[in-house]
Amino acid sequence: MPSPPEHTLFYTLTVQALCFTLAVVFIVLIYAWLAYLLGNGSLRHVPGPWYCKVSNIPLSIYEILCRRSDIILDLHKKYGPVVQIAPNEVSVADLEATKQIYGTKDRWAKSDYFDHFMGYGRRSIFATKPYEGHRIKRKYTSSFYQEKAIYKLPEIEEHIKSRSLAVLDQVRNGEYVDAFSLTSWYALDNITFLVFGPNHGTHSKKLFAALKDPRLNETHSLVRHLWELKQDDTNTGSIDVPYMAAEVLDNIDAAEANIGVTATYFICKQTEAPEWQDKIRQELSALPKQDNGCPSFADIDTRVPSLEACLREVYRLHPSSSGKNERLVPLGGRTLAGVFVPEHTVVTSSVLALHYDGEVYSDPDRFLPCRWIDGSEEQRKVLDTQLIPFGYGGRVCLGKALATMELKLLIASLYLEHESLATLATNAVSMKQCSTHDAVPRGLECVVRFRRMKDNATLE
């Protein structure tokens, strides 16, 4: 009995689809093999998976899945300290190679990736690719963010402390709170205060007025600082209002994102390790208090070793950036960790691979703040050398001093008389760190609960 026409048609279409699929797969495989043989032979000797050698697609997929850093970490575990991750891109996981890439000797330029961070048609310090251009622009704001400028001005500490107490007001009633949102708002309040000054920091309608007439602000503000440089007779025209706006935008974005991520993971880790909360609280309670009931930043910064140890461990486990700090190999090529990498190759150092190096950090996957307290000074120096959450070399983050003050004052305010408790709304899946530029938690929240310590004797 002959098959019905519709069955014959279905069978024909199925066979055609299968043949077409097989043909496409065959063509792709042939292309991949030819690309591998005839492609960038100069990188053929670099270890790495074959599919990363012939196409950018695998790396793009890793980024779409927000898993770039994790997968590159796995590749380093398999292939070693130098691994090819795309046809013209190499990742390194070696401290000496990292120093070579980001140091001041060879002056490696940034890649085209940083074109994405232009604002108002101008390149901020972060978006400037040539080393020399970056060095010149860095001079504009380096003095503004130096420790002696941030730590010695009482109005900055007073403002940050007032914002940390405002966060405490949000959590002291014991209700569920999203630490990621709270700490991000906290960071935004602080950086806008520093960028625009106290009269414009949180008043959106006045932001453009601050840019148009920054001389209205007579305090330590970035806008005023840049305006004075613009008015300087030695200015060659490189500082104009669009450049100032680009620099301001970049500073606000970086400060808000990095503080929010680091503070969130610090709180998350404390809920998982209450014994470290107790240690921090005991050390804080031993410090003299100011009129607002909080210790001074100087004391918190130098006399609370448990807080410092926990913060370093959070920096290690959860660096607040994707690690995509791409550089271009200079003319003539360079040898990195024993592997020659030709000129113009895009190279990046895997911060995660350095921070999870089992030869430097025992049990690298575990939260162990004691590693920063125990052992000899020489052993701790080795740990510290490979910890690079703020970058390395001539392009290290300018906001390190400000970030340290923000984080430590916030932590002291929250944990002096309170403890943080875990909730069912937050778990390992939601807190998985994404390999996005700002390395945010996958769930974009961290729901916890704070409770005041009832037994004040535990604070003594």
Binding residues for heme: 397
Whole-Å CA distances, 278 to 106, 275, 307, 366, 407: 47, 5, 11, 19, 18
How many residues are present in the chain? 460
Q: How many CB atoms lie within 10 A of CB 61?
A: 12
Residue 416 and residue 294: Cα distance in Å, rounded? 8
Residue 435 and residue 425: Cα distance in Å, rounded? 22
Q: What is the DSSP string of 147-205?
A: HHHHTS-HHHHHHHHHHHHHHHHHHTT--EEEHHHHHHHHHHHHHHHHHH-TTTTT-GG
The residue with tokens 């700490």 is 183
Annotated binding site: 397
Encoded tokens for 140? 């504009």
> Which letter does DSSP use for residue 3 in this model?
P
Whole-Å CA distances, 159 to 142, 406, 430: 21, 10, 32
Question: Strand, coil or helix: what is 317?
Answer: helix
Residue 264 and residue 42: Cα distance in Å, rounded? 43
Looking at 39-153, list the stretches that DSSP marks H as alpha helix, in order from N- to C-terminal side: 50-54, 57-64, 68-79, 95-102, 131-145, 147-150
Q: Give the type of residue at 117.
A: F
